[in-house]
Amino acid sequence: MNELSASLMCGNLANLARDITELERAGIDGYHIDIMDGKFVPNFTLGPDFIKRTREITTKPIEVHLMVEQPEHFINLFRQTGADRLTIHAEATTNLQGTLAQIQAAGMQAGVALNPATPLNVLDYVYDVVDYVVIMTVNPGFAGQAFIPAMYSKIAQLNTILHERGLTIPIEVDGNIGADTLPKCKLAGAQYFVGGTSSVYHPGKTLTENVTMTQHLLNGGYLDAKI
């Protein structure tokens, strides 16, 4: 099942409620909120209060992507925001298995994100505590970066591994997911797509136009379609 989420940090946060209304009328499936700590990535974003505000406005799934060091210290803090899914980075903790298990025990879906240079074998012993895997197709920290082409084969390799193990864990892709890259990621096996400035918030079009075109691509629209 394919899902398109809006990367809210790419939007105009002053218009959050109005934008969410438009995104949902246009058919968005959920929301992706990046939390950055200035250490794991050289950037900052808003924190838990912004997620709580979003939760008050929508009943759609909210995924919180923690780009923070030692995420194990923050599970309860983010559980209290009403987030449905919590993503941590494999590179950010020395206790990946325990932290993912802690997220699930807190009642959220547990996601593990891999930076572009991180090999897939870090997942070998944690699949039983993973609800979805995020393949970063850019180095995390900033919107508007170029897609790293080697990530297509990484997605395909992960898809093969999951298939061989009989696992139905969705693969999410994050970073420059748009008209050129989304169809190829889907062909490689991705199912969850994060829409930032390359699709949902593509400049020059309305949110409605962008979501409609991106959902069209996800539903098998022409590979050469332009957003």
Ligand X SMILES: O=C(CO)[C@H](O)[C@H](O)COP(=O)(O)O
Please give the DSSP secondary-structure letter assigned to residue 206. -
Contact between 78 and 48 (Cβ < 8 Å): yes
Q: Out of 175, 186, 189, 193, which residue is the one contacting ligand X (CB under 6 A)?
A: 175
From the candidates 19, 29, 34, 37, which is the catalytic residue?
A: 34
Contact between 107 and 131 (Cβ < 8 Å): no
Q: How far is the CB of 200 from ligand X (least distance, A)?
A: 8
Q: Is 29 a catalytic residue?
A: no
**What's the residue count for the chain?**
227
Chain centroid to CA 100: 16
Q: Out of 5, 54, 102, 198, which residue is the one contacting ligand X (CB under 6 A)?
A: 198
Joined tokens for residue 113: 């994100």
- 13: CB partners within 8 A, 6+ apart: 46, 50
By the rule CB under 6 A, 5 interacts with ligand X: no
1, 7, 6: which is closest to 35 by C-alpha? 7
Q: Out of 197, 205, 216, 225, which residue is the one contacting ligand X (CB under 6 A)?
A: 197
From the candidates 19, 29, 37, 174, which is the catalytic residue?
A: 174
Point out which span in 21-29, 142-150, 159-167, 208-216 binds ligand X (CB under 6 A): 142-150
Q: How many residues bind ligand X (CB under 6 A)?
A: 18
By the rule CB under 6 A, 172 interacts with ligand X: no
Contact between 111 and 131 (Cβ < 8 Å): yes
Residue 204 neighbours by CB distance under 10 Å: 7
By the rule CB under 6 A, 142 interacts with ligand X: yes
Site for ligand X in 28-87 (CB under 6 A): 34
By the rule CB under 6 A, 141 interacts with ligand X: yes
Looking at residue 227, its amino acid is: I
Please give the DSSP secondary-structure letter assigned to residue 128. G
By the rule CB under 6 A, 215 interacts with ligand X: no
- 13/161 with CB nearer ligand X: 13
Q: Is 174 a catalytic residue?
A: yes
Binding mask 121-140 for ligand X (x = CB under 6 A): -----------------x-x
Q: Integer distance in angstroms from the first to the last C-alpha of the chain?
A: 22
Give me the residues that bind ligand X (CB under 6 A), please.
Answer: 7, 10, 34, 138, 140-145, 174-177, 194, 196-198
Active site residues: 34, 174
